[in-house]
Structure 1
Amino acid sequence: MDIELARTFLEVMGEGSFIGAAERLHVSQTAVTARVQSLEETLGCQLFVRNRAGARLTLEGERFVAYATTLVQTWACARAEMKLPRGRASRLRIGAENSLWNPVLTNWVLWIQQDLPSVALHTDVSDPKSLLNKLEKGLLDAIIVHRPNYFSGFVVEQLLEEKLVHVEAVAKPSPNLFVDWGAEFKAQYDAALPQPRQAAFSFNLGPLALHILLRSGGNGYFRTRVVEPYIRSGELRRVIDSPEFTYPIYLVFRAGMLADDLSQALAGLRAGVAGGGDWQV
């Protein structure tokens, strides 16, 4: 449907008359009338009742308001999103789940800024389900997650073989801080450990739990690359005889021909991950 028809409908509703809408849109009243008639024919219902006082919505018109508003807003967002900033030749849209924005996504963004200066960049930090949904719809070009979806249209590539290890604060090794690293981790945890995983303090974000542990003490499971610097400094130590759990990091992107800028960006990500970097929170 022509977006101008929906925009004209909203203007008539807001102004309360065809004349007012015509003045707002800088068109003739005849043009407004023709647009409304075309919209009514397309929808198969009457949207306005015209009288001497102006125009008021019918019941069907009231129902159409939400749809027209969504259409106009979505179109405005699409135009803003698709238009490239000055000096940029293309756009990339990348994402990572919450626990991977630092340092993996951060380092990737910095690499793109430096090595692909003609690329405009949009980043999205969210939960894996939302990221995978956006990737499937084409709203993102590539994402970094812990639990990929092996959808037939996706390419899934393991970036890192990460592990979750049990550590404690040297100065104060309690209380237990349980971090929910996802369904797979919880299944591994329940199978390997006899004690229940219920704890007085539980988190769904690892960096937050680690901040609490470093400031006030405790113990819990965290990513090896994140806790290694604190183990070396003597702030944390591994809990003896505690099991380790696998927690790999995956790159996911759509199958098919890769645009040159995306191909270069993926190569930069792989090189950056292979080179290590600062994983401290």
Structure 2
Amino acid sequence: MHIDQLETFLDLIQTRSFNRSAERLGVTQSTVSGRIAALEAALGTRLFTRSRAGTDLTTEGLKFEAHARALRHGWTEAQRAVRPSGTAALSLRIGIQNDLAAGHIGDWVAEFRSKLPDCAFYLEPDYSAQMCTDLAQGALDFAVIFTPRALPDLHFASVGEVRYRLVSSDGDSRESLTAARYIRGNYAPAFEQTQRQLFPDLATAPLAAGQNAAVAGLLTSLGGAAFVLEETAAQLIAQHGFRAVTDVPAITQPVYAAMHLRHRPAPLHRRLTRIVQRQLAGR
């Protein structure tokens, strides 16, 4: 059994199409078919059935799915474990939501290193969806995210929240906002839903961005109005003449620690979770 057979098996579960999996994996359809045939031969059972409606798992395939995910995760972790990490006893790969990285990464890493002096750290700012995928596959050990993704092998724990405040160069009230001058911050699905509820008339604003730093840069260059993180709002008000829109409430964005389910009881991951909770609480 080879890891590319497991990858192909798990991808085919998602696509239900040999052609589509071949495109996604960058191989030929015959390669996909060959890998699945080899995997079925190694297991001594059929994993998929094919029909006009698509490709479906057999009962045996359903039983094997969880094992395939665990095998892929274990293999990825094993590869990383044997890579050189200097004098550190353990190397940890930690993902951090893009909007949290700029304001928090220094303090967080300082406490990580203080509490875990024998660890080496690799930090990777990213978006929630990709970090959840990387955790499930074993490419990350721990992540701090905005949006949990419903994957069967992941565990999420609430660790706090951050707030986005509305600032504007055009006025300090809701009446001063116009779609032409509004920049939609698309930071997370929950955030976007709240924003649409607050401003259904601004949903067609022609300019949007998914990162706090990008929105702040657009505001600085173009003016207008947008939700930005509280600390960014304070900077824009103090340094660039923006005003807080006082009759619009802040939007609160929950923050979660994410990890593979097998790491949920691990003392290391519980310690990382507590550190993030303390940092977000300001203690």
Taking structure 1 as the reference length, what is the TM-score of the superposition? 0.60
Q: 1:90: which partner in 2?
A: 90
What is residue 271 of structure 1 aligned with on the other side? 278
Offset from partner CA, 1:154-197 (integer Å, 9 cap, x none): 33222223233221137998832222223333332223324132
Cα distance in structure 1, aligned partners of 2:80 and 2:148:
30
Contact 2:146/2:188 (CA < 8 Å) preserved in 1? no
Q: 1 CA distance for matches of 2:89 and 2:224?
A: 50
**Greater Cα shift, 79-88 or 100-109:** 79-88
Q: 1:192 aligns with which of 187, 198, 204?
A: 198
- Higher-Rg member (1/2): 1
- Summarize deviations over 1:62-91 as a string: whole Å, max 9, x none: xxxxxxxxxxxxx9x975763242311112
Distance, in Å, in 1 between the alignment partners of 2:88 and 2:142 is: 19
Aligned to 1:117: 117
Query: Which amino acid is 2:275 matched to?
Result: G
Q: Percent identity between the aligned chains? A: 20
What SS does the corresponding residue of 1:212 show, helix, strand or coil? Answer: helix
Aligned partner of 1:147 in structure 2 is 147
Shift of 1:216: 4.5
Equivalences for residues 96-245 of structure 1 within 5 A: 96-151=96-151, 153-169=153-169, 175-231=181-237, 235-245=241-251
Taking the aligned partners of 2:105 and 2:200, their CA distance within structure 1 comes to 36
Q: Give the letter aligned to residue 110 of structure 1.
A: A
**1:193–1:126 Cα change, 3 Å:** same
Matches within 5 A, 1:253-272: 253-256=259-262, 258-272=265-279
Greater alpha carbon shift after TM alignment, 232-241 vs 187-196: 232-241
Q: Map 1:59-74 to 2 at 5 A.
A: none
Q: How does the TM-score come out when normalised to structure 2?
A: 0.60
Q: In the TM superposition, what is the alpha-carbon distance from 1:229 to its structure 2 partner?
A: 4.8
| Structure 1 stretches of 4+ moved >6 Å | 170-174
**Contact 2:165 2:251 (C-alpha < 8 Å) held by counterparts:** yes
Aligned in 2, Cα 1:262/1:156: closer, same or farther, shift over 3 Å?
closer
Per the TM alignment, residue 232 of structure 1 is displaced from its structure 2 partner at its CA by 6.0
Matched-pair contact (CA < 8 Å) for 2:216–2:232 = no
CA contact (8 A) 1:135 1:142 kept: yes
Residue 230 of structure 1 and its aligned partner are, at CA, apart by 4.3
SS across alignment from 1:211: helix
